Structure 1
């Protein structure tokens, strides 16, 4: 193994204050399907904020393979790869056998990893490791490995037509990507937010129209009926107002975590034969398809790039917790020394000020 025996990582010290401490860890023996990956970039997701004190978060990782287990045949040292939300699955159930490993009842997520991506190295099951085409920048693909895959999966798996009219609720970390993916898919996209604060940005991301959730009846009628709505929010809103926008057989797709009961008008669902659909992450097959789609359509996350250290890990968590991130935060490993890894330029973080975040989405 051409790597040091010990390496550094950044562990959550306090969940309330989002403080981190630098720790030193040792490499275990690689298991037969393991990949040892040197972390170059790690995206920061709202899901990371739920990690417990004493753990190392991070699951939107791009890096270079340093070593592989004995049974890994399709990956080798030196390959640039990425990983996402899922760490492994049983590979024996009906879901795994039908390329739906993300639904495996015995699946393991990043929460089960020895250490997450806030550090110099991770160890991941090679069957959930994805090669990255050279034309895709590392920093910008990192958030797409989870957030991008989450919004791409319904487009592919639910047979959304390129001619569909799609509503995107919430213009944040997930929502801005949903706009970009749906537009690249060929859809007519209506961005839906709680205020006008993000109208200009939503239109720049590719939305054809913009509306607020509190729009009057005339505005709602002018929008016309939608074939699907992607909800990326995790706060209570008027769900019935949104359901009224759907065509018969319309799909209401839940992407944002909803930690509370939802109240909807059953008659709206019955009379229009509306489907309420949940979507969690994406299968390996879907993620590989997403990466190809990103390469063809040049889709990039809007990111704030920060060097990976204890202070910036805390800052990243605080910005996301306060809905200040514009729109995804990516941490760069300090050990990188190649010329294109500067944090200066278009990705540099803005000064903190008034939040433009309308909804908390992932």
Structure 2
């Protein structure tokens, strides 16, 4: 009887990432850069390589491929994860890396009039989701991952679970979205009841909650606020279930609405979040309050929006206007 083959390296990487509860997006990125690292060094096994090879690859990304600083950081984190968590090899500090250039950019911000013009060109669920991005300062993934239990109409707030940095926070629920949200929940409940009647109705639960609460994945409270129109197969487990709306759907709708509104700014869904913070500061809210609503770990991250307020035409009177 032949002995089973040990798992391939990239399969071990995937298994370890899932044990660490990393997102599917992170899993795909890490596997991609680990594979690229191996190919860059002519398919040598990572055990045969070390700091020098990592330094060479990361410098190659910056010099030859001209990647963004954030991309280089993802590749670096992927390789550190490979050695520390998968191969369990302790690496010394990696210095001497040619860093990718990190541009100093201010966030793009919509005016209040531009926000209204964009929303006027959105309909249905896309209008509601974009309203939450702006009215509550949500990231796109935070909006998509909202569960029924996270909406608190009584206290008029939204609980963001496991946001960026695996942190929970509370943000405001705009009054103008309440009627639309209640209607959306009615539609989502109808889909859920249909799924249950057809033998489905199980929703993905993060971490080990499925083991801790074995029946929670069928409960209404755990369903997504913005479920997809169709059921699909989970790429990890193979289970057929209804996930949330695909992010591209809202991204395309917002891009189209921006163009229809005649706005030429290089903007996206995330611009609504920048606008939320800037407009709150304009209205006189304390920066610490804005920091908590956004979920920033460091207030210096939130401070970037004060630069938006104080620079350029907003903070300086042109000499031409003195004529």
- TM-score, normalised with respect to structure 1: 0.27
Structure whose alpha-carbon radius of gyration is higher: 2
More helix by share: 2
More strand by share: 1
- TM-score, normalised with respect to structure 2: 0.29
